[in-house]
A and B are shown apart, each in its own frame.
Chain A
């Protein structure tokens, strides 16, 4: 399919073209950061669509979606408008959806029990699909996972480290969402710092400094640590561009490049 170049895909290294897209994003971890003013949810929707769309180079990819923030119907409606039917994908076993809206771990035992059970489920799902498939684990979002774990940052970090082991063991990609402004004021720095350290790609959605605008909904900063591309060049790069969210797609453009 002749897809117009998309700044986000390019920045993520997803747009490598058909030739060298053998397994370009195996074992990566992506962190999406947003704040109250601008939600980064559209990045998730974009990535889900990328991974599930039939003309994607690796059509055998599987998405494991751990949703804390929205019910399935919400994502389904949005992705449907983007041309991706989640219900069908779920029936085809390409989408494994964990509805975690009501997950609650009240006391210490509960925390461990709940998170361990969740990890067990994820692990099982990964194992079943591990043969010849690209698996993407999406967690939306970490801040709510923390609330579900009753504020036990240690348990949340343990859980995330476990999930990260899957990236090396099975070559999964892991995508997490974090509301970064929660941690900006206090000494709760460990979580976002560790997350950023673990992430290969950090995508940050921010409002424009100049305020709200109808035709620019915010700016994205993509930090791609990337590593080497095989030729010894380091690809680590920061890209910065504006975006505008529409119902069925998102426009990305460089600042000032739109009249």
Chain B
């Protein structure tokens, strides 16, 4: 026991040297976890590699805007590109129609243009330098391989037909479920294809559930049914090689149920639309015109570790680059006249400094 103690107490952090997974679209992470891409390169980078296999990812919707759909679409498309089976559920009559709106990968020509674009950016003024550090590193690493871990998606072009025609996508309408028992069964049937990895993984799956607690569903008033469904979904997913991606409108739920859901999530994000004419924000932030929304990261899954992930920033702006591909950027405070721009000066080691700005960037 004593020797074991000595050995195990020094933790190793050599995950950067870990071999990349042989299965396309998967990547080894720290603490014996495996990552799967969210479909947005920037989001993967922010989360430290992507979503953990076996995790439950929740997006809190902005009820006034469909920004969660952007994330949902890229998540599903990335799965299809990697040939991973997808289970999609949504509260509409014909969920399969949604598959036609999934984005396709950006072709390499565009990728080059993205590169030159980035090179041009290098010449920008210095106070935004943080954005450009290490940019494109991830891309160049993996472009040599046949299948990239994470693709850029062109939100304007629909996905190739052959990817959605096969039986890889299973669609469930949440309107048909009078209670959640049937849906739970279909989830567990889907999940049984991917038993938990022990060394070698053959494939991974994705579950995408859109607007889980939408009021048009029959089970909407049964709060405890919904909670216990999510709880069992979480434990089923945890015991398999899948990622469940679920969006829900928190404002339509009672605060306590919403909090419970947030506790159940392994990774918790929220999206928010930006009002068109918010003059106050427009003067505060640079690049306000290009933003379509804000993404906040509330919780990052931590499997097999107790150390919380502290991000540089928790709120990112969602931008559409050339109206096609989705990029996330740190919010940058616009330089206020005369003041020395200290937008990043919040780190300070001392905790007792009570200087806190009204906006948490």
Given A101-B238, A210-B351, A214-B347, does the pair A247, B228 have CB atoms closer than 8 Å? no
Whose C-beta in chain B lies nearest to the C-beta of A41?
Answer: B306
Residue in B299, B305, B310 whose CB lies within 8 Å of A213: B310
Contact code string A41-54 (vs B, CB < 8 Å = 1, else 0): 11001000000001
Contact code string B10-24 (vs A, CB < 8 Å = 1, else 0): 110000000000000
B45 beta carbon closer than 8 Å to chain A: no
Instruction: Kindly list chain A residues whose C-beta atoms are within 8 Å of the C-beta of B263.
Output: 36, 143, 179, 182
B110 beta carbon closer than 8 Å to chain A: no
B308 touches A245 (CB 8 A): yes
Stretch at the interface among A6-14, A77-85, A121-129, A132-140: A77-85
Interface of A is mostly: loop
B8 beta carbon closer than 8 Å to chain A: yes
Whole-angstrom distance between the alpha carbons of A144 and B230 in the complex? Answer: 11
A215 touches B349 (CB 8 A): yes
Given A147-B228, A246-B307, does the pair A77, B31 have CB atoms closer than 8 Å? yes
- Could you list some 15 contacts between A and B, CB below 8 A? A37-B299, A41-B306, A45-B306, A54-B2, A77-B305, A81-B9, A88-B4, A101-B239, A150-B225, A150-B228, A212-B311, A212-B314, A213-B310, A213-B351, A256-B351
Whole-angstrom distance between the alpha carbons of A57 and B48 in the complex? Answer: 41
Given A77-B32, A102-B232, A151-B224, does the pair A258, B260 have CB atoms closer than 8 Å? no
Interface residues on B, range: 35 or more
Given A36-B298, A101-B238, A104-B232, does the pair A247, B259 have CB atoms closer than 8 Å? no
A163 beta carbon closer than 8 Å to chain B: no
Given A242-B351, A255-B352, does the pair A85, B227 have CB atoms closer than 8 Å? no
Contact code string B113-152 (vs A, CB < 8 Å = 1, else 0): 0000000000000000000000000000000000000000
Whole-angstrom distance between the alpha carbons of A177 and B1 in the complex? Answer: 29
Whose C-beta in chain A lies nearest to the C-beta of B355?
Answer: A210
Whose C-beta in chain B lies nearest to the C-beta of A74?
Answer: B304
A101 touches B235 (CB 8 A): yes
Given A36-B262, A210-B354, does the pair A82, B9 have CB atoms closer than 8 Å? yes
**9 A-B pairs with the lowest CB-CB distances in the bound complex, closest first:** A77-B304, A101-B235, A185-B255, A151-B224, A83-B5, A256-B352, A247-B11, A182-B259, A83-B9
Whole-angstrom distance between the alpha carbons of A42 and B239 in the complex? Answer: 23
B223 touches A39 (CB 8 A): no
Instruction: Kindly list chain A residues whose C-beta atoms are within 8 Å of the C-beta of B336.
Output: none
Instruction: Kindly list chain A residues whose C-beta atoms are within 8 Å of the C-beta of B346.
Output: 211
B165 beta carbon closer than 8 Å to chain A: no
Instruction: Kindly list chain A residues whose C-beta atoms are within 8 Å of the C-beta of B351.
Output: 208, 210, 213, 216, 242, 255-256, 258
B324 beta carbon closer than 8 Å to chain A: no
Residue in A77, A104, A210, A250 whose CB lies within 8 Å of B356: A210
A residues whose Cβ falls under 8 Å from a Cβ of B: 36-39, 41-42, 45, 54, 71, 73-74, 77-78, 80-85, 88, 101-102, 104, 106, 143-144, 147-148, 150-151, 179, 181-183, 185-186, 188, 208-217, 242, 245-248, 250, 255-256, 258-259
Contact code string B158-187 (vs A, CB < 8 Å = 1, else 0): 000000000000000000000000000000
B213 beta carbon closer than 8 Å to chain A: no
Closest approach, in angstroms, between the C-beta of A180 and any C-beta of chain B? 10
B310 touches A214 (CB 8 A): yes
Whose C-beta in chain A lies nearest to the C-beta of B351?
Answer: A216
A245 touches B235 (CB 8 A): no
Whole-angstrom distance between the alpha carbons of A214 and B255 in the complex? Answer: 29
B231 beta carbon closer than 8 Å to chain A: yes
Whole-angstrom distance between the alpha carbons of A182 and B228 in the complex? Answer: 16
Closest approach, in angstroms, between the C-beta of B261 and any C-beta of chain A? 10
A259 touches B9 (CB 8 A): no
Closest approach, in angstroms, between the C-beta of B347 and any C-beta of chain A? 7
A147 touches B260 (CB 8 A): yes
B306 touches A245 (CB 8 A): yes
Instruction: Kindly list chain B residues whose C-beta atoms are within 8 Å of the C-beta of A54.
Output: 1-2
B228 touches A148 (CB 8 A): yes
Contact code string B245-260 (vs A, CB < 8 Å = 1, else 0): 0000000001110011
Instruction: Kindly list chain A residues whose C-beta atoms are within 8 Å of the C-beta of B31.
Output: 77
B228 touches A104 (CB 8 A): yes
Closest approach, in angstroms, between the C-beta of A70 and any C-beta of chain B? 8
Whole-angstrom distance between the alpha carbons of A127 and B299 in the complex? Answer: 40
A74 touches B260 (CB 8 A): no
A80 touches B306 (CB 8 A): no
B353 beta carbon closer than 8 Å to chain A: yes
B303 beta carbon closer than 8 Å to chain A: yes
A102 touches B259 (CB 8 A): no
Whose C-beta in chain B lies nearest to the C-beta of A43?
Answer: B306
B9 touches A78 (CB 8 A): no
Whole-angstrom distance between the alpha carbons of A88 and B310 in the complex? Answer: 33
Whose C-beta in chain A lies nearest to the C-beta of B224?
Answer: A151
A248 touches B9 (CB 8 A): yes
B307 touches A245 (CB 8 A): yes
- CB-CB contacts below 8 Å: B279-334 with A: 298-299, 303-308, 310-311, 314
Whole-angstrom distance between the alpha carbons of A185 and B268 in the complex? Answer: 20
